[in-house]
Structure 1
């Protein structure tokens, strides 16, 4: 399509979509009274009804939908099917109006009705994959604005939703394999006689379809069906642009025409005389022909019929002529417009591999609701990134797994392909039968099932060469691919796929002919007639559900932010099973993100459960890793009566959050921090005291808790963050004083030399300080236990055991706090990726003048408020797990900042260190916007002229702030300024020193 036509039709489509939505929501908007589909038999009709039922929430409630199969389940022609529709409406309207309005004349039932009829009763022989549900429900490469994958039926309903407002009454008849794109506002129908909707198409296209010859008064003068280009030119049907008025298959009949047609079948005897498989009246050949001005009865009798010439047809044509000849058919020539014929397998493959670009303005795409990367086209399909797929392939409601190999130019339809090798240029189509068995039909993309050709070979000749008799393939049926009994009926779809590939090999000088002969086999025709329509719809739904899940998995691998993932409805049974299988084989990172992404996409309580599982996975897997490192120490003994350990606090400078699981587990961590005293004291204190009783006593004065234990089992229960003694228990397990499982406490204490008390407290430090008190307390416990029990250790041992202890407690926090406070000095701390974090600590040696300047310019400010009780850790980790770009950038950048800070400190450049601290503060707010608030902003603003840098301590939101003073400024000046602004508020400077 040229650009102007594309834009015009794109706007027209948007308009019709709006009208379609109005038909769903507005009681006054004009809509169809009836939408009726015709079907070839009751089996196909049942499939159509199932499709309509599956869409009931998306169909206008004021419209009556019906499916009318051909009378007697035999082919009665499109004209016969039209008469069956009239009979159905007449019966229903007569009864409905009799109940509502009392008696009414029979010939008035069509008055005031707007009726849409879609003739869709074909076998779809040239596209066998669409036979079972009919070409009407074949895929269109378009994702509807409401997110659903489109079919011809959906496109028909949307495109025609504006037509009722353009006609007062009458019937619009459409061909079920032709999609018409036009602006309905162009329809101008007076309501008398009939009207044919025609588009301009190139004469080369027109020669394969019907063409209208227009008269001077705007009516159809002559109907030319599949005529040569020369004939069309001689008739004057070709304009100066080499275009013709093509028959789109769309025609409007007025109420008068409908009445005239109904009179042909007004009795049972008349109905069965004209609606049968011998007469086979045609809508286009028999009903439209008499409406053309130049038609004559003699030439009408000679028109090629839909069935065979016979006396019954001649009689029927005479009756049709008499009924319709008084009327004329107006030619509605619409432009710009587009006529798309879904005709053959080859045309569909061509459309999906490039032709669809012509309709990109209509938002058609090579990939529709499919989880596919690369160039493969797909509709409701999943393609594993590890599968090998050739060029120019199209997947339709199929799942191609990782070990599959698919050739070039292949169409796969309604299949799971696991480890099979699919040859080039074939179609494989899976179909469940009513008896519960499966067939997989295989044929060449270029094959025409109406002919006797398979894989481009003469089927009859090749079968003879293989020793397959005509009787084996056809019996007394027509010798075409459509009727050839080629496809083994199997118990499962995978067996059916293997059987179809065996058939391919047989015809290419391989395969197992003997096993093929033993099987009960189906033809394309019988497989279609015996198909389980409900199973096809269920498979389609299954694939839609699997696409959603696989798309999330691919989004995770590609790093797509969780906020951009498509929302999910509550998970179905298929999706829950997919999740279970996927999680069973997922590694740590995928399991964490899969739960988080699915939970976020679901939202609500169901989503919360999956998000909870995401964080549970982090803690459980880290805990499992830590428990593997536990070693029970049977050699330690209490070596003193009492021992006390005091530790400093820490301030965080660079790399905060990079030490937090799963961030550090996946990328490693980099942190720069320093130990500090507060008000001249080391506030974290742990004391161990030997006692004669065979028990362990925990006492925490600052927490005001006390507990005594004389059995081992309660001491081995870990992982409960609400346990008042979780820290102390974790310490004894991490240090090997108690075994993780089993053992007798009395015997253990006997070996140790007695029971003991563990006193722990943090003095004169506000709760939620942000200075790492709880984690440093863990470090103090480990250090005190080592020294109390006579366990030799290195600094690295101390860090490692504290880390195991934190993991046992399942707090979800990182390692920088305990490492920062367990030893004095400024420390540059790194770890490599892995669940079991290996910590490397480097002490930074500063020149004396640098240390002095840093201590003079470094200042701690207390905000007077406790850090807000927010789900902070989950917010930050959630943004990381959810691949939020700002967060990922900041988390990566802050590690670089930590390295640069170290560099600047080592060369004595405090000003540049301050600049980097400010930059880190900006990055911290990208990681967690809640790290600041109005009070914090106000504090920083009030001393802005006194400082070169600012930063929160810890996660922020409260507790302490840290600043670097401008040269020449003092802590007293900051104190005075804060008191001016905040007066009696606790906001103030606290004395501290980097030690």
Structure 2
């Protein structure tokens, strides 16, 4: 402890720029020192990772549901205690378990934690503990009179340690030194012979002095201690007694007048002295919930009912309800008996069985020189009985080995004591060389030579012969601490990997991102994390491939940790095109391999890793497109008897309303619509008495395509070659939507393999077409304008050539167009605009491999009176802010694939809201409609971060007292605001105008009259009044 305090002060001095040890550096600081007890020969048996890091299967709200360590619980306790403590030095043992009573007033009492001198934290315990540990005798002022260690109950009772309730104040191992006392403790580092406690003394040639908190420091301050009794306190084994005596005299002189107090806290205290203590805590503590499966992967043929911690269990294995399997990998035909512990085992496989009340502990050894040894880490299987005492001489009547007497063991095995112990060694279980060294995981004979110890009958001569000829170790010999920690971490990684594989391959609604964050934080290399996901990719069903690509993208982003730029961005770098083409051609395996190959070139910087992440999402978008493309779109030839043939001098004109979404939005977007399924409720609306979306199509003799976006600053786009059409997938390219709508119909072949020119293909169709489109709404309205326009364009172009889609297939066709444009999207917009009135669109979750997206719809019946009533309370307000749904869609799809609990809960709640909204609409309950609309808006905000910018929030706050409900139309972020007003919409409009006219920043807000449109898509014909000059087509 003195050395630790010296080193801490030395480092703090250096960090502050001092070239000398500055004791003033400790002023006004709280310093925490955690004491690790070293390699422990207990709990469960030989825990090379030390008691501090023994895994406990506790469901503890303070430290989470991963395996819990005593050191976790201690740190949680200190988070409660230390905020109330004065500056000073807190010294804590990490080996015991202390569960605080959080209602204890002493935990946050300033008077308790501001005392001068030294404070020892104590806790009342019963007879199971007070005779086996250090306990304190206190006076009425909570001053410590005496500390007794492992004294008899009679001694403790006679000397006033035990209360009437049969309790004693146990020394918990938590000690606090005030700032002045800490300075005195530091001064000892330079005082002989105490300087021998520090590395400086040892480096100066002094003999090492072992000096501890108890009894060397604390006993010098107890009230009833005398110098003589203090000097006679026990010291560490192997210590130089004269050196210790000299050091204690210095401590007595320095600390005798320092006050030593007890801070008594309430709670429960546990200490695992032996494996039975560990078993009893797990099975019988009765106060703390135990998880029977903690951070483990179990895929055994029979149920495994034991407690399993950080392990992988496979094969035809069985374990008793009272057994514990800890940091192990078991496969094949194995079994673990009652009250047995298997700890760290990785070598056990087929036909190995652990009997009742046994401990099998696989220990990693330090490298040793052996003939024919492999590169694997050597190990030993420790096989002992649950109650074997490591420190009893084998001649002691109470001494046992594997639950039987030494006499019986030696007799049945034919082993002589001289074969177990070298001369001069104490003949105890701890020093017995019982355990063969195993250098090959598949050396079943050597494993058999280790496990025979548990059998009470005589072993076969071949087994005992192999055991006698092997190189063996004792418990005292073993210990590669680094390898043991590494083995534990490796099993943890394997458990995570198998859980991730189970989640992704089976499409479970569980996020893998916590695993990836854990790997990043624990130092798992990115390359290994990616290799693991790459391996899983080859066994993932097609319907979950998009999610896996998104997960790899997430992994890259998590490791970058916001140091590489924005996550969303373009994903069309030519270097990735080869991989993308494999996915386009439905060869996912080659696609993944090509992505892996290309990815290796992009891991050299955070910026490039984010760009790689975007391209993995780009590949995922292709997978979504492939699935969307399977939905049915059968183009039918129109019946000439019921079809007006379009003449070359006339237009077919299509007008459509827009839609307002009322519930269920985002459930229509791919992939959510086919992975979750969902219902969407919306309504068609006319704006200012007109349908705001119009398009017209006419036939022309020339074999060209003319696309004209009316109202844009661009000239009409004339396509005379296939090459002119191939920028259809670039959303910002001129007339890209119109091109995609034409190509989607499948009237021409535009693949790169096609040898037939556009001219020839159009001539077979009877000539080209001219298409004009118009929208009278601001860009980014949120009212579904682009998808509804796409529906009108597809309908019009198909009509011009004598074809048509059914309503359902038209909705599917627009879905495909959105995928062609790479904007993605859902089906609710086209359902909302093509069909009049209120309707509920539906799409079911895929249940089988061959399922396709199948959009159905149902009209919500409302009387004309109810529609008129709804219109009186409907107000559309343009916020003055445009938004781009694609950016929000990318984020929603990403979060959906991440399967966060928030997103999963919200998608389920969206479904519930559609049911409530349908009921409210059928009753035309305006107040209920408004309430459900607010619920829906809150759900949309959860789905898409950024859906409600601060300016929109401010606008909502201005109008909320005048409305029953509100929402932004569509994805949010801007566009139109939908209000369900309390009073009629006209008077409410005036009130809102008066509110906003004196507020800066709302000058661009505009009000639009909206009414429910009950007709949907309408068609009429016009004579051509103006003609574009069509370029003469020149054959090349």
Corresponding residue to 1:376 among 292, 303, 318: 292
* Mapped contact 2:364–2:483 kept (Cα < 8 A): no
Q: Provide TM-score, normalisation by structure 2.
A: 0.62
Q: Which residue of 2 aligns with 1:896?
A: 915
* Mapped contact 1:35–1:64 kept (Cα < 8 A): no
Aligned to 2:321, the other structure's residue is in SS state: coil
**What are the Cα deviations for residues 609-642 of structure 1, in whole angstroms up to 9, with x where unaligned?**
4896896576333212134459999999999775
Alignment of 1:964-975 (within 5 A): none
Alignment of 1:133-212 (within 5 A): 133-135=49-51, 155=74, 202=126, 205-209=129-133
Aligned to 1:722, the other structure's residue is in SS state: coil
User: C-alpha separation between the residues in 1 aligned to 2:87 and 2:1012?
Assistant: 83
User: C-alpha separation between the residues in 2 aligned to 1:215 and 1:882?
Assistant: 56
Q: Which residue of 1 aligns with 2:902?
A: 884
TM-aligned CA deviation for residue 838 of structure 1: 0.3
Aligned to 1:124, the other structure's residue is in SS state: coil
Quick check: 1:334 aligned with 2:334? no
Alignment of 1:258-269 (within 5 A): none
Aligned to 1:743, the other structure's residue is in SS state: coil
User: C-alpha separation between the residues in 2 aligned to 1:623 and 1:496?
Assistant: 52
Quick check: 1:646 aligned with 2:654? yes
Corresponding residue to 1:347 among 271, 277, 281: 277
Corresponding residue to 1:448 among 389, 400, 413: 389
Quick check: 1:400 aligned with 2:312? yes
User: C-alpha separation between the residues in 2 aligned to 1:620 and 1:892?
Assistant: 27
Corresponding residue to 1:832 among 833, 841, 844: 844
User: C-alpha separation between the residues in 1 aligned to 2:521 and 2:90?
Assistant: 40
User: C-alpha separation between the residues in 1 aligned to 2:756 and 2:565?
Assistant: 47
* Mapped contact 2:550–2:894 kept (Cα < 8 A): no
User: C-alpha separation between the residues in 1 aligned to 2:869 and 2:84?
Assistant: 80
The number of aligned residues is 854
Aligned to 1:427, the other structure's residue is in SS state: strand
Q: Which residue of 1 aligns with 2:683?
A: 673
**What are the Cα deviations for residues 836-884 of structure 1, in whole angstroms up to 9, with x where unaligned?**
420113456776x559857985877563835445754456667776443
Corresponding residue to 2:366 among 434, 438, 442: 434
User: C-alpha separation between the residues in 2 aligned to 1:174 and 1:916?
Assistant: 59
User: C-alpha separation between the residues in 1 aligned to 2:405 and 2:124?
Assistant: 38
User: C-alpha separation between the residues in 1 aligned to 2:92 and 2:867?
Assistant: 89
Q: Which residue of 2 aligns with 1:604?
A: 562
TM-aligned CA deviation for residue 437 of structure 1: 0.3
* Mapped contact 2:877–2:1006 kept (Cα < 8 A): yes
TM-aligned CA deviation for residue 898 of structure 1: 5.1
Aligned to 1:762, the other structure's residue is in SS state: strand
TM-aligned CA distance change 1:696 to 1:565, over 3 Å: same
Q: Which residue of 2 aligns with 1:423?
A: 336
TM-aligned CA deviation for residue 712 of structure 1: 4.3
Q: Which residue of 2 aligns with 1:989?
A: 1009
* Mapped contact 2:695–2:792 kept (Cα < 8 A): yes
TM-aligned CA distance change 1:401 to 1:919, over 3 Å: farther
User: C-alpha separation between the residues in 2 aligned to 1:323 and 1:475?
Assistant: 42
> Which segments of 5 or more consecutive residues in structure 1 lack a partner in the other structure?
1-31, 38-51, 66-94, 102-113, 358-364, 367-373
Aligned to 1:753, the other structure's residue is in SS state: helix
* Mapped contact 1:687–1:784 kept (Cα < 8 A): yes
Aligned to 2:670, the other structure's residue is in SS state: coil
TM-aligned CA distance change 1:483 to 1:173, over 3 Å: farther
Corresponding residue to 1:523 among 473, 477, 483: 473
**What are the Cα deviations for residues 144-189 of structure 1, in whole angstroms up to 9, with x where unaligned?**
899997655995996999999899xxx9999885689999988999
User: C-alpha separation between the residues in 2 aligned to 1:727 and 1:417?
Assistant: 58
User: C-alpha separation between the residues in 2 aligned to 1:758 and 1:355?
Assistant: 81
Aligned to 1:760, the other structure's residue is in SS state: strand
Alignment of 1:914-925 (within 5 A): 914-925=926-937
TM-aligned CA deviation for residue 241 of structure 1: 5.3
Alignment of 1:380-779 (within 5 A): 381-382=295-296, 393=307, 395=309, 398-400=310-312, 407-416=320-329, 421=334, 423-424=336-337, 425-429=340-344, 430-435=362-367, 437-439=377-379, 441-443=381-383, 444-450=385-391, 453=400, 455-458=402-405, 461-462=408-409, 465=412, 478=427, 480=429, 483-486=432-435, 488-491=437-440, 503-504=450-451, 507-508=454-455, 513=463, 517=467, 523=473, 525=475, 528-529=478-479, 531-533=480-482, 536=485, 539-540=488-489, 543=492, 572-574=523-525, 577-578=528-529, 581-582=532-533, 584=537, 587=544, 591=548, 604-605=562-563, 609=567, 619-628=621-630, 642=648, 644-652=652-660, 654-657=662-665, 658-665=667-674, 666-674=676-684, 676=686, 679-680=689-690, 683-687=693-697, 689-693=699-703, 696-703=705-712, 704=714, 706-709=716-719, 712=722, 715=725, 719-739=729-749, 741-744=751-754, 746=756, 750-751=760-761, 753-754=763-764, 756-779=768-791
TM-aligned CA distance change 1:283 to 1:746, over 3 Å: closer
Q: Provide TM-score, normalisation by structure 1.
A: 0.64
User: C-alpha separation between the residues in 1 aligned to 2:429 and 2:530?
Assistant: 46
TM-aligned CA distance change 1:442 to 1:64, over 3 Å: farther
* Mapped contact 2:292–2:305 kept (Cα < 8 A): yes
Backbone CA RMSD of aligned residues: 6.8
Q: Which residue of 2 aligns with 1:35?
A: 4
**What are the Cα deviations for residues 495-530 of structure 1, in whole angstroms up to 9, with x where unaligned?**
69997699547745899959975996653526634x
Aligned to 1:604, the other structure's residue is in SS state: coil
TM-aligned CA distance change 1:790 to 1:838, over 3 Å: same
TM-aligned CA deviation for residue 775 of structure 1: 0.8
Aligned to 2:810, the other structure's residue is in SS state: helix
* Mapped contact 2:138–2:262 kept (Cα < 8 A): no
Q: Which residue of 1 aligns with 2:818?
A: 806
TM-aligned CA deviation for residue 816 of structure 1: 1.8
Which region of structure 1 is more displaced relative to structure 2, 594-603 or 743-752?
Answer: 594-603
User: C-alpha separation between the residues in 2 aligned to 1:243 and 1:943?
Assistant: 67
TM-aligned CA distance change 1:513 to 1:928, over 3 Å: same
* Mapped contact 2:658–2:691 kept (Cα < 8 A): no
User: C-alpha separation between the residues in 2 aligned to 1:247 and 1:115?
Assistant: 20
TM-aligned CA distance change 1:136 to 1:989, over 3 Å: closer
TM-aligned CA distance change 1:522 to 1:329, over 3 Å: farther
* Mapped contact 2:625–2:819 kept (Cα < 8 A): yes
Q: Which residue of 1 aligns with 2:371?
A: none
